[in-house]
Structure formats: C-alpha cells, structure tokens
Amino acid sequence: EVQLVESGGGLVQPGRSLRLSCAASGFTFDDYAMHWVRQAPGKGLEWVSGISWNSGSIGYADSVKGRFTISRDNAKNSLYLQMNSLRAEDTALYYCAKCGRRFLESAFDIWGQGTMVTVSS
Amino acid sequence: SYVLTQPPSVSVAPGQTARITCGGNNIGSKSVHWYQQKPGQAPVLVVYDDSDRPSGIPERFSGSNSGNTATLTISRVEAGDEADYYCQVWDSSSDHPLVFGGGTKLTVL
C-alpha cells in the first residue's frame, strides 16, 4: 500500500524551531518529487515547499523562504522540513504530498494525513 | 505571484451537473490539477493535466482548460461529492511557482 506518514508536529513558541518528517512506503521513493503543503484551521491549501527526485530542484513559498529548509534522504525513504523562526501564522496542518513524476510541477497523487503545528506562547 | 480565482461556493441538486471554475491569466497555457477535500480528510487528486483522471476516480469527473478559465465538471452529482475543491497550477516564471486556488465548497442540495 502506498503510504505517507508525517510526524514531528506539536506546540512550539514563536521564534523556535521544529523539524517535520514524512516516511514513505509502498513505492520507489527516489523516483518522485515530493512537497509540503499546509492548511491553517478553516482555511485553504497553501504550498510550502517542494523537492525534485534527486534534490536537484527545490522551491519555496515566499512566506517561508529563508526560514524553512526542505530535504530528503532517499536511502531512508524520508522527506523532511526544517522550520526555523516560527511565527503564529505558521500554525497549520502540514501535509506531505507525492508528485506523479520526478519533477516539481506534476500533480500530487498521494497525500499523507498531516501533522499539526501550533505556534503559540 | 500567479493568482487563481475560484467561486467560494457552488450548489447543485443531486443528479445535476456541477461546474467549478478556476480563473487565471492565460491559464489555458498551463496544466491544471484539481483536488477534492472532504471534512477532516486529506485532499484527493480527481483531475490532473487539465483533463486526465487518476485510476479510481469516476468518469463523472472531468476537466477542461482554455483561455483564462479552467473548469471542473461533475456530472450526475451525488451526495458523496459534497466537498471542497481546489485547483492548482505550476507557474515556472514565478519565484513562488506552485499556486492553489482559494477553494470552492460544493453543496449538494
């Protein structure tokens, strides 16, 4: 079964850091680009960051550029999101999503269930 | 960055056809993807590359894209189709290349 399982969310104070992980199974992880997408409570979907199959292409939303870093470990079938200098507006459910192809621009054909990040003092 | 505009809500009776639009500047030159999200669940891809359907998605779901508007069409709407629907594109010319529309709540009357 193709599956994505996120972890690492929680309650964190403004200005602190958090690292999210996404464990992939049921498919050849290093054949596909991967992304992080977030959804604030009661709001729509917002793209956060994406990484190509070999980490050769990486993109970030303007709202997180310079604060968040995406990475992947193909040997461990895992995707990561290092989040620094967190702000209240980063509070959201963070989804890991698999692309249908190796490159960033293809559609997300598999989504995880998400991990909640709450930034509050 | 590129902007996608969706109507906040669309209502349709069971058995009728729902059309959800996604507006953007020359969106017809881009590939549009559509996602369905039911309450408390992760999004599901229902149409990709304007008009292709992933395996397992009913033929009732179809898409088109031309000019400044892309459209998701749901034929013979069922109660189970009630959900939020989001369009998405990749704009390679932008520093913020991946964009979602604001979402449309489909209500089945």
Sequence-ordered strand ranges (E) for chain B: 9-12, 18-23, 32-37, 44-47, 61-66, 69-74, 83-90, 98-100, 104-108
pLDDT at B93 over 90: no
Q: Does A105 touch chain B (CB under 8 A)?
A: yes
Beta carbons of A113 and B35 less than 8 Å apart: no
Q: Which residues does chain A have within 8 Å of residue B105's beta carbon, measured at their own beta carbons?
A: none
Beta carbons of A108 and B43 less than 8 Å apart: yes
Beta carbons of A108 and B100 less than 8 Å apart: no
Q: Residues A45-72: pLDDT tens digits? A: 999 999 999 999 999 999 999 999 999 9
Least-confidence region, from A75-89, B57-71, B89-103:
B89-103
**Cα dihedral across residues A56, A102, A116, B85: positive or negative:** positive
pLDDT of residue B92: 83
| Averaged pLDDT for residues B58-81 | 98
Q: Which residues does chain A have within 8 Å of residue B95's beta carbon, measured at their own beta carbons?
A: 62
Q: Residues A80-99: pLDDT tens digits? A: 999 999 999 999 999 999 99
Largest interatomic CA distance in chain B: 42
Q: How confident is the model at residue B100 (pLDDT cuts 50, 70, 90)?
A: very high
Question: How far is residue A30 CA from its own chain's centroid?
Answer: 16
Largest interatomic CA distance in chain A: 40
Q: Name residues 23-52 of chain A within 8 A of B (Cβ).
A: 35, 37, 44-47, 50
Q: How confident is the model at residue B96 (pLDDT cuts 50, 70, 90)?
A: confident
Sequence-ordered strand ranges (E) for chain A: 3-7, 10-12, 18-25, 34-39, 45-51, 58-60, 68-73, 78-83, 92-99, 108-111, 115-119
CA–CA separation, A102 and A26 (whole Å): 16
Query: What does the mean pLDDT of chain B come to?
Result: 96
